[in-house]
Amino acid sequence: MNLYGEHINSNTMRKLVLLFLLNLCTVAIAEQMELITTIPVISNDENSSSAAYSFSTDLVALATTITTAPTSTSTSTTTTQNPTNVTGDITEDTTWGMEGSPYYIMNDVNVREGNTLTIEAGVKIFFTSSYRLDIEGNLIAVGDSLNRVEFISSGGGELYFEYTSDNGNNLLDYCRFNNTRLEAYESSVDILDSIFSSKGMEIRGGNFTTYITNNTFMGCSDNVILWSTFPDKYIYATQNEFRNCTPELRGRGETETYVFFSNNTVQGSTHGAVIKGWTHASYNTFRNNTYGVNIDDAYGHVILSHNLIYNNSMGIYVENMGDESSIIYNTITRNNIGIFVNEFIGNYSDNNLYNNFEYSVRTIDIEHVMPGKEIMMLNNWWGIDDRNVIDEYIYDYYDDSDLPEVMYRPYKETFVCKTPLLEPIADSDCDGIVSDFELLHYIELWTQGKVGDFDLLNAIDKWAS
């Protein structure tokens, strides 16, 4: 028998029939017991060299449910909730639990210095107007993935940390901020596993290192501003997702204090990520923005390295970056313009700058630069070893004599290793050779549709040579 173009022997066919009957029987039993949510199907990968058949793991879970379903009826207990109106200052250690939820903020409420407000999982806090929950002492709000602590506002409510709360004991974990702004003034607040929608936040760090980790920011009407202000007390923003929200990163040059921004995703924003101060941004993905990264008035140290920057109108916009700054080991591709340069200083090297639609680099009339001034962009890979083609994708002095010249020679003749990949490459260790193992792995990626036919043929040619 030939099925989907593949030969099936009799033994395999018998197994298929048995599996199909088992599938039908299981579905019938599940429907009878009203336990089914999705019907598992037999799947065939047409790209495989042999027909491979598998059942959805829903069947395993379903069978487990059927065989282990309890025969007796169980009951659960729930906490009786009585809404609480909050009107006065908090002058002692206080816990808000589910028995008093939801809590309505009826006017400005202040947690006085020396006192801690603890908010338990599942509690909801409603701001009835543009009131502020002001933290002079400390706040510990910890939920879990199923029972978040929620801060909800329809009229501009705000959670605000005063500098007097800066003792390293503030924590927000598994919280949700709906139309509620968060701000900290020279105070350290660790924010983990939380969701922010409609509003941004501003953290001006204090005397303790601040961690902003594994959060989601969505549809912000204002920026997510991260300031590091005190010497050696950094802000670490890692593994966050920004959807139509702009992170604004402001390290402080006077104190040589950095914002470390790594392993984040920024997408769907007008300004992408805005860098206005000493910042190390590495191993991030910037995609589908107007600006991927906007370096603006960031005098001093800016290190932009090992980032994947693609599908933006402008991959990187550079203005006033600072002469000790570097843009290195990035992959910048599929943007309308790769790097839009309004600054001649800094180090642009060891990047993959290729397959950008209009220009890989475009300079503009830099006011404080005399015509003919050079912008150094050495040792980058431009996607091809052809100077004439590379020149076509650089807009500089040779296109307009009022512009500075981009000096790009010498350049890399192959893909720069140690950079993030948008598409897999056959020579994964970048040693100039496609080994047997690398070719087999590349063929596997081809069978999964992750590599094109032309790329596979090139890989085979390199392997054979």
Does 441 score more than 80 pLDDT?
A: yes
Cβ pair 261, 273 in contact under 8 A: yes
Predicted pLDDT at 372: 53
d(CA 117, CA 115): 7
Estimate the crossing angle of helix 10-33 against helix 58-68, to 10 degrees.
Answer: 50
- Out of 3.30.160, 2.160.20, 3.90.930, 1.10.530, select the CATH number for domain 84-407: 2.160.20
Q: Where in the chain is the domain with CATH 2.160.20?
A: 84-407
Which region holds residue 263: left if phi is over 0, alpha if psi is between -120 and 50, else beta?
left
- The string of pLDDT tens digits covering residues 271-327 is 999 998 889 999 999 999 999 999 987 667 899 999 999 999 999 999 877 778 899
SS3 464: helix
Q: Between these two residues, 71 and 319, which has the higher pLDDT value?
A: 319
d(CA 262, CA 273): 12
- Confidence label for 432 from pLDDT (cuts 50, 70 and 90): confident
Instruction: Tell me the pTM.
Output: 0.78
Containing 21, the helix (H) or strand (E) segment is: helix 10-33
SS3 398: coil
Containing 58, the helix (H) or strand (E) segment is: helix 58-68
- Confidence label for 454 from pLDDT (cuts 50, 70 and 90): confident
Q: Which residue has the tokens 């299981």?
A: 26
Rounded to the nearest angstrom, the gap between the alpha carbon of residue 227 and the centroid of all alpha carbons in its chain is 19
Write the CA distances from 36 to 18, 25, 70, 91, integer angstroms.
21, 13, 17, 53
Lowest-pLDDT range of 51-60, 76-85, 194-203, 232-241? 51-60
- Confidence label for 61 from pLDDT (cuts 50, 70 and 90): very low
Start-end of H helices in 256-350: none
Q: Tell me, what DSSP letter sits at residue 101? A: P
- DSSP tally for the chain: helices H, then strands E: 5, 44
The whole-number average pLDDT for the span 160-171 is: 92
- The string of pLDDT tens digits covering residues 205-230 is 888 999 999 999 999 989 999 988 88
Q: What is the mean pLDDT of the chain?
A: 82
Q: Read off the tokens for 46.
A: 């047409």
